[in-house]
Amino acid sequence: MMDSKPVFHVEHLDFYYGRFKALADIGMDILPKRVTALIGPSGCGKSTFLRCFNRMNDTIPGVRIEGQIMLDGEDIYAANTDLSGLRKRVGMVFQKPNPFPQSIFNNVAFGPRVLGLVKSPSQLQDLVEHSLRQVALWDEVKDIMDRDALGLSLGQQQRLCLARVLATEPDVILMDEPASALDPITTLRLEELIAELKVNYTIVIVTHNMQQAARVSDFTGFFWLGELVEFSDTVKMFTQPEKEITENYITGRMG
């Protein structure tokens, strides 16, 4: 598994909502340009864990963590961490598409403008087009770029949100059940996009869909009641799991 230096190194991570311990002693390495899937039943802590990678949980009152999450050797929970810089490097696509109530163009252009990634209108135009092409949306929207993004279909909205993340030139893309609101055909297209994007990006995805995890990921972590029960190569996880509880969950006998 350790064929290259990890992008994220997680060690002895505990996470609390007030007094409630939601995650206990989690350890995991996220390797570059691979897809890591997090699976487990609702409430097991996988989405909470995902949001730890870009500190999205910080907005919730009363949360705290113990342990470490290192991004390229630096503790992202250190007091001097630049949160804007962290969230530029570690983008997120949410469960439900959340385009801004603005034009398609302005949705994708928002991040580059705020972060000062472009120096001219033509450079911004090129970046927006490139981001939309990466998610196979350009041909569908190139003639309606000034229209409200909320008028797009759900599948188009989700790809737009992914393009919005890509426009900030991240290193890591977090996806929290990105296909849960999509129909099967659109879901398959999203999975194909994930396979294409991992050539250039590190991806961590939360999914309830066992078949999806098996199809898209290189590594899989199985969470149960706030603990990481098993973490391994996806093929091994789905064919020769080490723990009986993992096999029972994957085969549908529990969960």
Beta bridge pairs of residue 174 = 92, 204
Cα–Cα dist 10/69, whole Å: 5
Beta bridge pairs of residue 23 = 15
Residue 175 lies in a domain: yes
Position 64 scores a pLDDT of 94
The pair of three-digit structure tokens given for residue 94, joined into one six-digit string: 């949410």
Give the number of domains in the chain.
Answer: 1
Q: What is the CA radius of gyration of the chain?
A: 18
What would the pLDDT profile of 59-89 be if each residue is shown by its tens digit?
A: 999 999 999 999 999 999 999 999 999 999 9
What would the pLDDT profile of 123-139 be if each residue is shown by its tens digit?
A: 999 999 999 999 999 99
Residue 15 lies in a domain: yes
Residue 108: domain span: 8-76+83-250
The residue among 57, 61, 60 whose CA lies nearest residue 77 is 57
Position 134 scores a pLDDT of 93
Residue 255 lies in a domain: no
Beta bridge pairs of residue 68 = 11
Position 83 scores a pLDDT of 93
Position 125 scores a pLDDT of 97
CA dihedral sign, ordered 62, 46, 36, 127: negative
Cα–Cα dist 64/69, whole Å: 13
The pair of three-digit structure tokens given for residue 244, joined into one six-digit string: 């009986």
Neighbours of 57 (CB within 10 A): 19
Position 3 scores a pLDDT of 54
Region of 117 on the Ramachandran plot (φ > 0 left; ψ -120 to 50 alpha; else beta):
alpha
Q: Which CATH number characterizes residue 185's domain?
A: 3.40.50.300
Residue 56 lies in a domain: yes
DSSP 150: G
Position 181 scores a pLDDT of 82
Cα–Cα dist 60/15, whole Å: 12
Position 9 scores a pLDDT of 98
In the chain, which stretches have pLDDT less than 70?
1-3, 255
**CB environment 212-241: b (16+ within 10 A), e (fewer):** bbbbbbbbbbbbbebebbbbbebeebbeeb
The pair of three-digit structure tokens given for residue 62, joined into one six-digit string: 């009363």
What would the pLDDT profile of 185-198 be if each residue is shown by its tens digit?
A: 889 999 999 999 99
Residue 1 lies in a domain: no
Q: How far apart are the first and last CA of the chain?
A: 27
DSSP 119: S
What is the model's pTM? 0.93
Residue 152 lies in a domain: yes
Residue 176 lies in a domain: yes
Residue 192 lies in a domain: yes
